[in-house]
Structure 1
């Protein structure tokens, strides 16, 4: 039993693709791919924004009289008709700065009409047809403006329409057709390629700048989050110490204080249980924060007592530094103590990176209930010596986060002599007032 043959494969695949491409080309010719903003509208300087207008004004003022003169003197076109054609073919050049595709819709039909008008006049020995020299040169400027603003699809459609028009005119009067019918598509293709390449390069540069801006913002945000995570890991030791003290005191209170009622014992037991639970939660949180699992994070956190060692290590690295550490700092909270050390550490690291060899002064003192940390460096000895010519400012992010954590303020900025200044001011707890001495007993 023979099977019936299946349906034949569709034979209009190429036709449908051709129709689709023609629709896309027609859409490109009828719809501009950019808003009607002038060329170089985003330029930073005024003369750059005005330059396209000056260029199109100069082109229009040049090609209108030149076209009229060529039509009247070389082709014997009547003055009124030559004036109308010259204005129609050159006046729309004023639109090149902001609407080049709309200008093409005026100039292209005017050029074809001009070529048909020339057919009615006798042919001269040196006549060029269908595109006379002023029309050809002005059309190339039009194509350049299109290449700088429109998409590839539109440029291909414009070039195809230009070539088709030249071919049709050549077939209409093959005995009069000169080299301009072929010259315009060739030169037009070169101009369109140059304009399109410049436009695409500009768009690629703009997208790259936007991507760099986005990447820099993401990098700054990531640095901020990493610094906050680092601060949280370091403050764990501080908070855990206080919670451990609370737990021990709550557990030992019934043994240290005699005669406690049962409700008080239960209250102390609840406090100790809550403190132990909080410590467990903190340890679980810390295990998440310590994603790298390095042993260095488990080392004791540094403080002001290690500033001298930090400065000595910096001096050995080749950075002349002086430390002025007040002897009567008093009681400094652990968070402020750690933050002050990290601020000095980061400030010295910035000096090493951006101004190696610069003389640096570090001052740590207390005043008006605040701890003042000041790091000032001079300019680098030689301008070419910095290890990093530009900085992202991410080191300052950590300083600000630490100072903000303690409720203080941070002031940073360059100095007139080329140096840099970092000044932090962090509050200290009020000093405990001495107990009032009891009056002596009478003997």
Structure 2
């Protein structure tokens, strides 16, 4: 690595954008499209496919019903007039009543069904006394059957099972009642419509139930994924709080010791000054006690097997178990060299560029955050791209620490330990970067690799993540 490239890399780091939303949470919000297309409308009067993702899908029911009305209306009038011998006025009125309500079936199929059934029944009674019915379909005409079945499709895609059963039984009951008046020379269509309508109601009702089930599954998966991401976020925040306790407790302990020993180290001190040092020591001890009580609450979840962010502990390049890591001194930039060496011994080629004097140049929070970011990034390389060459660079100046971890594509023939990532490991990086007021940029590279770049200000505000 050439030292002349350092200013150029620093200028690129300072323009890093804010961290995007985790892919796991973003992907969890996208519902399944088949479920949205076939699910029941949410509100009364809402059209079929109203929640479909595309405009042409939302307009499809209106287009189909309009085409059916435009085709069936003239055919119904002509057939009723010429074949069944109905008068022109009756034929026109029945044609409109049997076909135009199909447009209403898209939004209110039960009302459309009642109108169409009534019109078909009246039509059967009107042509009952006509001559020339020999061999014709009765009581349901062919055009009436087609329109009625279209209403059944709309009903099945929208209404609950109880309504569908009621509609089907009512269809059969009306047909049976009309069957007592059937002329002997006609072709009985009662059983035909009863069977076809039942089959269509069963098929479309099953499709609607499948769409509703898929939608519920997608919603539950979204909720579960969001809860997992939230739990990981809370666990990582608790871990950061524990680590900050260790950092702050060290300084508070130093303050307590210095305040208690001041009267012995500085003889001849005035009594008011002694009392002031005693008050400082008492306040420091009280603060340490409060921090220990708070830490007891944060550590209470360990009895239930709680761990830190995904991949931070127990990974191929980790520090060991949670309990062992908490009892050890907090790591920092100075231990990144050991971390890289452990990764190389595990068979992962890693190149390290660590600025001279970086160890001890950063505040404790930044020092620890830089180490954890490199640790998580290398763990992800081992899991998702085994054998890939990686490069770790840690540089600093008077204002900030710059951390860059870049890896290439995985080695050919080396199976990944994990084929799909949840994005939870990035949650810990994000929280640590927010802790120091910096920025984080992560994403894939054109050649198939991945990049993690963090900017950690040395004097950034430590804000509570909300």
Contiguous gaps of at least 5 residues in structure 1: 1-31, 431-443
1:327 corresponds to which of 344, 352, 356 = 356
Q: Please report the RMSD computed on the Cα atoms of aligned residues, expressed in angstroms.
A: 2.2
Partner of 1:222: 231
Q: How far off is 1:295 after superposition?
A: 4.2
Distance verdict in 2 for CA 1:429–1:189, change over 3 Å: closer
1:184, 1:409 → 2: CA distance? 68
- Contact residue 131 and residue 180 of structure 1 kept, 8 A: yes
2:410 aligned partner: 380
| 1:108 equivalent among 117, 120, 126 | 117
| Corresponding position of 1:394 | 424
| Cα deviation, residue 145, structure 1 | 0.9
Q: Give the counterpart of 1:349 among 379, 389, 395.
A: 379
Deviation of 1:264 (Å):
1.0
Gaps of 5+ in 2: 1-40, 304-322, 461-466
Q: Are 1:264 and 2:273 an aligned pair?
A: yes
CA drift at 1:231: 0.8
Counterparts of 1:34-433 in structure 2, within 5 Å, are 34-173=43-182, 175=184, 178-291=187-300, 292=302, 294-329=323-358, 330-382=360-412, 385-428=415-458
Deviations 1:123-174 (A, max 9, x none): 5331111111221122111111100011122212211221111111112347
Q: CA deviation at 1:286?
A: 1.9
Whole-Å separation in 2 of the counterparts to 1:364 and 1:333: 15
Shift of 1:339: 0.8
- CA distance in 2 between counterparts of 1:34 and 1:166 reads 32
Distance 1:33 1:120, change over 3 A: farther
Q: Give TM-score, length-normalised by structure 2.
A: 0.80
Cα pair distance change 1:177/1:169, threshold 3 Å: farther
**Could you tell me which residue of structure 1 aligns to residue 316 of structure 2?**
none
Quick one: distance in 2 between partners of 1:174 and 1:153?
Answer: 34
2:318 is matched with: none
For residues 335 and 280 of structure 1, the distance between their equivalents in structure 2, rounded to whole angstroms, comes to 21
Whether the 8 Å CA contact 2:102–2:112 is kept in 1: the answer is yes
Q: Counterpart of 1:172 in 2: which secondary structure?
A: coil
Deviation, structure 1 residue 175: 4.1
Assess if the C-alpha contact under 8 Å between 1:415 and 1:421 holds in 2: yes
Q: Which has the larger radius of gyration?
A: 1
Mapped contact 1:374–1:423 kept (Cα < 8 A): yes
Name the CA shift for 1:290/1:172 in 2 (closer, same or farther; >3 Å). same
